[in-house]
Homo-oligomer: A and B are copies of this chain.
Amino acid sequence: MGISLDELQLAARNHGMPLEALRYDLTPVGLHYLLIHFDVPEVPSDWRLRVGGAVDRELSLSLDDLRSLPRMRRIVTMECAGNGRARLEPHVTSQPWLAEAIGTGEWGGVEVGPLLREARVRAEAVEVVFTGLDRGIDGGVEQAYERSLSLQEALVGEALLAWELNGEPLPPQHGAPLRLVVPGWYGMTSVKWLERITLLDRPFDGYQQAQAYRFRRTDDEAGEPVTRMRPRALMVPPGVPDFMTRRRFVPPGPCAVEGRAWSGVAPVVSVEVSADGGATWASATLEPTPDRWAWARWTWTWDAAPGEYELRCRARDEAGNEQPPEPEWNVGGYCNNAVQRVAVTVRG
């Protein structure tokens, strides 16, 4: 593998979560992953959220207006759709994530559904477009960052408009003053720096919906939209690291291994761990999740004898989705939930 200067520019500005932070139920602010397509924008001092398009009553709401509505808090695990991209062969050029594009936040705000009902959505509306203040060029097209949800998903789903993270005001890099948070979905859907919600009477064909974020096996197929997070388990790499290689060093004896697991499709029902490169698997102990779309903690005790190992872990969800041993290659490098592998030396 060789990462280009362009990719390094993205890696240097977009933050991953160091995997030892899997220890925390809630990811501390500053450790949650960040994928900022364009720039963190400047927000006008007279910012308001506008709701328009196929509605009978247009809304224009200040943050104080939103704060006067019933507030919800939800603990949500979020993962970038491109997590794992840098492990794909042949190489896919874009933000080069390994496994760190994750985080869990407690998001506070209002539900999207009741707000849309306030605007009296017209009968012909079928999709809801969320538009951010961040602008730039992607695939040759100048655009504001925007993504849509089906009206059904927006009305009855669990999407929030959030102005709080972990009990504090939303930081600029997470979308202040207001962002969308769609529990269970990959992060591209959770539009940051939200300025406009538009009801459409037709499917949204913007770049980030119709071109990007589609699972295509070849360049010329239309592909399927990327939506909900596939199941994944990740472990806190045990022991101590080598600075440069990140190889782990563990003393012999019982070694407490812990991690988190999630799926955006259905609850995780099992996590298994292997210390022999996938030949045999042991069941980890899975703890209850603090919220429907939050990761679950898991633990396993490894009886570590001197030698060289590759630890692996894998999750399965209630809908029967399992992590594959190898990545499923696709043009955009999305949804790579292949099992994590951690190289460990046990020193006698």
Contacts and interface: CB of A to CB of B under 8 A. Distances in A.
A15 interface: yes
A3 B6 contact: no
Contacts of A24: 172
A243 B29 contact: no
Contacts of A86: 5, 8, 12
A86 B9 CA distance: 10
Most chain B C-beta atoms within 10 Å of own C-beta, residue among A15, A29, A96 = A15
Contact of A18 (B39, B94, B244): B39
A5 B86 CA distance: 9
Given A31-B172, A242-B136, A243-B136, A8 B12 contact: no
A244 B16 CA distance: 18
Interface string A64-105: 000000000000000000000010000001101110100000
Contact of A38 (B15, B142, B243): B243
Interface string A32-70: 101011111010000000000000000000000000000
Nearest to A1: B5
Contacts of A15: 15, 30
Interface string A6-33: 1111111101101111011000111110
Copies of this protein in the complex: 2
A240 B34 CA distance: 19
Contacts of A18: 13, 36, 39-40, 173
A290 interface: no
Interface residues of A, number: 59
A179 to B, nearest CB: 14
A11 B8 contact: yes
A241 interface: yes
Contacts of A10: 244, 246
A348 interface: no
A12 B20 contact: no
A12 B13 CA distance: 10
A153 interface: no
Nearest to A9: B246
Contact of A173 (B8, B31, B34, B138): B31
Interface string A143-159: 00000000000000000
Contacts of A4: 1-3
7 contacts: A5-B86, A8-B11, A8-B98, A12-B100, A21-B173, A31-B171, A138-B242
Kindly list the 7 A-B residue pairs having the minimum CB-CB distance in the complex, ordered from nearest: A2-B2, A30-B30, A3-B3, A138-B243, A12-B16, A13-B18, A20-B39
